[in-house]
Amino acid sequence: MDQPVNPADIHKAIVEQQKIQDRKKLMVNGVLLLLLLAAPFVMYPVFLMKILCFALFAVAFNLLFGFTGLLSFGHAAFLASGGYTTGYLLSNFSGLTTEMGIIAGTATATLLGLAFALLSIRRQGIYFAMVTLALAQLVFFFFVQSEFTGGEDGMHGIPRGELFGLINLEDNLNMYYFVLVVFIACYLLVQRIVSSPYGQILKAIKQNEPRAVSLGYNVDRYKILAFVISAALAGLAGSMKSVVFQLASLNDAHWHMSGEVILMTLVGGMGTLLGPVVGATFVVNIEYQLSQGPLRDWVDPILGGIFVLTVLAFRSGIVGELQKFMRKNLG
Partner 1 sequence: MTMIFGVPLAVLSGQLLIGIINGAFYALLSLGLAVIFGLLKIINFAHGAMYMLGALVTVVLFDLLGVNYWVALFVAPVLVGAFGMLIEYFLLRRIAGQDHIYSLLLTFGVALIIQGVLTNIYGVSGLRYSMPDMFKGGINLGFMFLPYYRAWVIVVALLVCFGTWFIIEKTKLGSYLRAGTEDSQLMQGFGINVPLLVSLTYGFGVMLAAFAGVLAAPIYSVTPVMGSNILIVVFAVVVIGGMGSIGGAIITGILMGVIEGLTKTFYPPASSAVIFLVMVLVLMIRPTGLFGKEA
8-state DSSP, 43: S
Q: CB–CB of 239/81 below 8 Å?
A: no
- Hey, how many other C-beta atoms are within 10 angstroms of the C-beta on 256? 11
Asked if 125 is part of the footprint of partner 1 (rule: CB under 8 A), the reply reads yes
Could you say which of 100, 103, 114, 123 contacts partner 1 (CB under 8 A)?
123
Could you say which of 47, 189, 259, 316 contacts partner 1 (CB under 8 A)?
259
Asked if 189 is part of the footprint of partner 1 (rule: CB under 8 A), the reply reads no
As a whole number of Å, the CA-based R_g of the chain is 21
Q: CB–CB of 41/207 below 8 Å?
A: no
Residue 131 CB, shortest distance to partner 1, in Å, is 6
Residue 314 CB, shortest distance to partner 1, in Å, is 12
Q: Which amino acid is at 59?
A: V
Size of interface with partner 1, in residues (CB under 8 A):
39
Asked if 53 is part of the footprint of partner 1 (rule: CB under 8 A), the reply reads no
Asked if 188 is part of the footprint of partner 1 (rule: CB under 8 A), the reply reads no
Q: CB–CB of 233/63 below 8 Å?
A: yes
Asked if 193 is part of the footprint of partner 1 (rule: CB under 8 A), the reply reads no
Residue 311 CB, shortest distance to partner 1, in Å, is 5
Asked if 27 is part of the footprint of partner 1 (rule: CB under 8 A), the reply reads no
Residue among 44 and 127 whose Cβ is closer to partner 1? 127
- Cα–Cα distance between 231 and 72 in angstroms, integer? 10
Asked if 262 is part of the footprint of partner 1 (rule: CB under 8 A), the reply reads yes
Name the strand (E) or helix (H) holding 248: strand 247-248
- Cα–Cα distance between 78 and 140 in angstroms, integer? 10
Name the strand (E) or helix (H) holding 114: helix 98-120
Asked if 120 is part of the footprint of partner 1 (rule: CB under 8 A), the reply reads yes
Asked if 304 is part of the footprint of partner 1 (rule: CB under 8 A), the reply reads yes
Asked if 212 is part of the footprint of partner 1 (rule: CB under 8 A), the reply reads no
In whole angstroms, how far apart are CA 112 and each of 62, 74, 80, 289? 18, 11, 11, 34
Could you say which of 305, 324, 325, 326 contacts partner 1 (CB under 8 A)?
305
Asked if 255 is part of the footprint of partner 1 (rule: CB under 8 A), the reply reads yes
- Cα–Cα distance between 153 and 285 in angstroms, integer? 26
Residue 93 CB, shortest distance to partner 1, in Å, is 27
- Hey, how many other C-beta atoms are within 10 angstroms of the C-beta on 7? 7
Asked if 13 is part of the footprint of partner 1 (rule: CB under 8 A), the reply reads no
- Cα–Cα distance between 244 and 225 in angstroms, integer? 29
Residue 76 CB, shortest distance to partner 1, in Å, is 12
Asked if 133 is part of the footprint of partner 1 (rule: CB under 8 A), the reply reads yes
Asked if 59 is part of the footprint of partner 1 (rule: CB under 8 A), the reply reads no
Residue among 165 and 301 whose Cβ is closer to partner 1? 301
The span of 6-14, 25-33, 157-165, 258-266 binding partner 1 (CB under 8 A) equals 258-266
Task: Give the list of residues 6+ apart from residue 312 with CB closer than 8 angstroms, or none.
Answer: none
HSE on the CB side for 185, CA within 13 Å?
9
Asked if 311 is part of the footprint of partner 1 (rule: CB under 8 A), the reply reads yes
- Residue list 139-158, contact with partner 1 (CB under 8 A): 141-142, 144-145
- Alpha-carbon torsion (202, 205, 211, 212), positive or negative: positive
Name the site residues for partner 1 (rule: CB under 8 A).
71, 119-120, 122-123, 125-127, 129-131, 133-135, 137-138, 141-142, 144-145, 255, 259, 262, 266, 297-308, 311-312, 315
